Amino acid sequence: MKAMKLKSCFLLIGLLLVCNVYAQELCRADFLPKASAAFDLLTQKYSEERIVKEIRAKNVRWVTNLMSASAVFYKATHEKRYLDMSEQVFGNAIREWKKNEKLMHGKDDFFALQNLALAYEILQDNDRLPMGADEVMIRFADLHFDPDFVIDNNQGQERALGFVRMCNLFPDAPGVSHWKEYVDKMWHFWYRNKDVDETATLYASIHLNDIINIAIESDKVALLKTPEIRRWFERYRDQQAPSGYMPEYGDDYFFAYNNWILVFEKMARLTGDASFRKAAWKLFTIGYPNLDIKYFKPGWNLRQACDWAALAEVALLPTFFEKSDSPVRTSLVTTRTNRKGKTDIPDQLLLRASSEAGTPFIMSDLYASGTHQHPNLRGTINYFEVDDNPLFHGVQRHATDVRHGNTVVLMKENGSGFPFDEKGSRLFTNSWFTDCVDFSQSTEISGDTAMRGMRKMTFRFQGEPGEEIYIKNVRLIGKAGNRLLHDCSTLENWSKNVTLVDLGKEGKAVKVVLPDKNVCFVNLDVAADFSLNDYRYIGCDWKHTAKSGAKKSVLDFMIRAYNKVSHPGEEYIHEKVGTLFNPNTVREAMAETREGDSYGRIVLDDQCVDGSVLQRNMVLTKEGILVIQDHLLPGAGTEGYTAGSLWQLYSLDKSGKNWFNSTGENKKWKDRSGKDIETNQLLVYFEEQKGRHFGVQQQEYTVKPVTTFAKQKVIPGSAVTFVTIIVPHTALWKAEDIVKAISAQTDATHQSNVWITLANKNNLKIEITKEGNWKVERNE
């Protein structure tokens, strides 16, 4: 019997993977049955007893999400069982919250109110509300109301949408005037710039959907039908890869799926532009065959189950009749506006010859600022696909170091590993480290642009229960030396979750013991005003020990320094320990396509070290060959430094002196028909030069990638040119044969010529000059 059930399950999943790949717009029959079937699988172990346990465990976010998701599925399908589920979840929550208000607060519960209000509205329309619900709803809203939480990110917009819905549902509530004031303030905060300062793909889809819903539910739709807003929408459509995937940048996951489908469908109806419907279709049809099993696994998974409700919401949208279809642009640099109103800031550099499926494509994140930012990775190549295969889609969730990217680094090398000092790994226990945050991007406090102010510090930890962390010598660091803020010889100004210990010869230190696997915050109330000319960094000495006594232990540790002058979205500066800072800025960025080949140029000032300049020239051929010429001019103070060109691989198969081949990820990516994509290997070839060394380093962060590199010592003021050739290929085109088919030469003028004979015996010559002249010649 169990075998038959398992077989039926896999048959159902197989049927779910069938989708219409011929029409280029989504039809209800394409996605709604799949979404509801997946939702059913993921909530298969639903019971009232389980729900009550979730409520009592303060799982506020996902309990409220489930009640709204099931209600939306009812509206889309008219299947009574979904309405019954929503009523039962909602009713139990109301009863439990009424008995114990503490259960209304949980992790990430800023998502809760808008879902709670949506479930209330649908249940009210169907006469399914329990007695006493209104009183609890208003109390829930008041307990989650923070009039000062004004910011243009997903947390802010989720809150604002919740209070829009509460204003509509309870126009006579005691706090409604304050709710309306908050909602208006939130709308004005982002709308004055017609943009939001969010730099992560998935999070962007959340707040875009919220903003559209706020406009619909507060009679502001006309405000979204302006040329500026349309250009804002088009920026996200243009960032879509030719395959249909939404590349991730910032602190994000690959790949954002259902919510972007919903957002594109809503954008289509707001603009009357069918290109947004095509974007939704492309994402659905390429994404569906590639979804992880967790999106279908029978049992109990609220996170993935609720995600499918976005497609149920698509089914409820008005019929689309428009036929206009604006073209998606080819190679370009998208631009944006920041919170301060500065316009035309370079955002993403995109290289592609067309938006048609299979076209080679790369993305480079140029903005790398705002919410969920990864500023140390500015200018890196964060996405690369060929033949609809995401050959590089990021290793960067919670990985913020410049050495985590595909870029050029300039750093001091300690001789025990490159680019990471293996003896200095922050995984090691019982070893003292010095770490800090770069406070130069903090807010100014006076007319002197160098003056900064810090009002307090927070140390953020997440690791195994029982992990011990020791902190001492909290200080300012800079050209003026060290300025002690707290010597950690007393508990004065520390939060209560620390103790003081005497470590003998190592001196006194503040001790933190992690109580569980959740995030642990430790606060230190110290303040200081200072000039960046004297002090730029705020840091401490620290070490950690594992409860098990292990020599290595994974600890997520961030140091956070709060600005004395605080603006929305600029409350603090924080960084993970062990990070190599990269304070670079974009001086210039451009992109163009000629006859199927594309070229991009980025000029970055202060690359890794103040005064150092990196000019990156990139050619992406129509065949998918990527040639990168990096021209680095080291600045003053870089005596003894090492420069290195890096490319991250998911695995290492074969290698030679200056080349490295990867068979890719364990996951096999599929095309729209469900077949494995054959172009799934990647070869990295570094040009040889005198004094240059090559190698690999196995990493321990995130997906545990392999970093390949070409490196050499530098002389301040003496330019260095790296040429890196990236060749996607199938298993039939052997790595050894590719290496024999490549030749590269850079002359004294920094002109680089690359020759490669392709698998079909056609010859390519790619020429790039330092000045940015480029061409691709073919000899067939």
Handedness of CA 401, 407, 410, 416 (dihedral sign): positive
Q: What number is the average pLDDT over the span 522-544?
A: 98
Distance between CA atoms of residues 383 and 389, nearest Å: 11
* Position 574 pLDDT exceeds 70: yes
DSSP string over 153-208: SHHHHHHHHHHHHHHHH-TT-TTHHHHHHHHHHHHHHHHTTTS--B--HHHHHHHH
Q: What is the pLDDT of residues 670-686, one digit of tens each?
A: 999 999 999 999 999 99
Is residue 555 scored above 50 in pLDDT? yes
User: In this model, does residue 183 exceed pLDDT 50?
Assistant: yes
Once rounded to an integer, what is the mean pLDDT over residues 89-111?
A: 96
d(CA 614, CA 611): 10
**CA torsion through residues 598, 601, 607, 613, sign:** positive
Q: What is the mean pLDDT of residues 97-111?
A: 95
Q: What is the pLDDT of residue 23?
A: 58
Here the tokens at position 248 are 């991730």
Q: What is the pLDDT of residue 20?
A: 45
The larger pLDDT score, comparing residue 55 to residue 5, is at: 55
Work out whether the CA dihedral 172, 173, 177, 181 comes out positive or negative.
negative
Average pLDDT over residues 639-660: 98
Digit-coded pLDDT (tens) for 374-401: 999 999 999 999 999 999 997 767 788 9
The segment with the largest mean pLDDT, out of 85-94, 317-326, 437-446, is 85-94
Bridge partner residues of 777 (DSSP): 765
18, pLDDT greater than 50: no
For position 395, what pLDDT does the model report?
72
Inter-helix orientation angle 154-169/133-143, to 10° = 150
Please measure the distance between the N-terminal and C-terminal CA atoms of the chain and give it in whole angstroms.
61
DSSP state of 317: S
pLDDT for the residue numbered 3 = 43
- SS3 category, 731: coil
Kindly tell me if the per-residue pLDDT of 11 is higher than 60. Answer: no
Strand spans (E) along 190-344: 332-336
Mark out the alpha helices in 577-618 (DSSP H runs). none
**Which of the four pLDDT bands, split at 50, 70 and 90, describes residue 16?**
very low
- Name beta bridge partners: 454: 528, 563
Percent of the chain with pLDDT over 70: 97
> Which neighbouring-strand residues pair with 708?
647, 696
* Percent of the chain whose pLDDT exceeds 90: 90
Contacts of 741 (CB under 8 A, 6+ apart): 756, 757, 758
Which of 22-26, 158-162, 184-188 shows the lowest mean pLDDT across its residues? 22-26
Q: What is the pLDDT of residue 368?
A: 94
Digit-coded pLDDT (tens) for 409-424: 999 998 889 999 999 9
Cβ proximity of 397 and 374 under 8 Å:
no
- Residue type at 418? F
Q: Is the pLDDT of residue 6 over 70?
A: no
Strands (DSSP E) along 279-365, which ranges? 332-336, 345-351, 361-365
Q: Which of 216-220, 252-256, 623-627 has the lowest mean pLDDT?
A: 252-256
Q: What is the token pair recorded at 504?
A: 């003998």
In this predicted structure, what is the pLDDT of residue 644? 99
pLDDT of 726 above 90: yes
Nearest to 394 by CA among 408, 374, 409: 374
Mean pLDDT, rounded, for 311-333: 92
Mean pLDDT of the chain: 95
Residue 92 sits at φ, ψ, to 5 deg, of -65, -40
The CA-CA-CA angle for residues 385, 386, 391, to 5°, reads: 45
Residue type, 42: L
* Reported pTM: 0.93
Name residue 353's amino acid: A
Residue matched to tokens 């599925």: 73
pLDDT at residue 712 is higher than 80: yes
pLDDT confidence tier of residue 485, bands split at 50, 70 and 90: very high
- Predicted pLDDT at 569: 84
